[in-house]
Amino acid sequence: MNCPKCGKEMLRGSMHTQKYPFWTQQELRFFKAPTDLVELGPLDDDDTSVFTRDPFPEFPDAEICQECGLVVFPCKMIEKKAEK
């Protein structure tokens, strides 16, 4: 696909992380975890518990723009409740 930001052809590959990444709109402060976040897991991963998760998740069908660095990848959004 073409980059939605700059329009250049994107490179296809897979993205790898250590643990599930998370996404939030909150500003993170030192030593304070965000209270409102969603974890991003691979579409076919078993995310029912932290023990069944792949510790090195792979996100296939990721695309990166070599021009502006934008990365696009499909994922499952897992709501995480704030811990007390």
Positions touching Zn ion (CB under 5 A) are: 3, 5-6, 65, 67-68, 70
- Please give the radius of gyration of the chain, using alpha carbons only, rounded to the nearest integer: 15
Q: Closest CB to Zn ion among 7 and 60?
A: 7
Q: Closest CB to Zn ion among 39 and 63?
A: 63
CA 56/CA 53 separation, integer angstroms = 9
Both tokens of 59, joined, read: 């996100």
Q: Closest CB to Zn ion among 1 and 82?
A: 1
Both tokens of 41, joined, read: 């897991």
Question: Least separation, in Å, of the C-beta of 83 and Zn ion?
Answer: 37
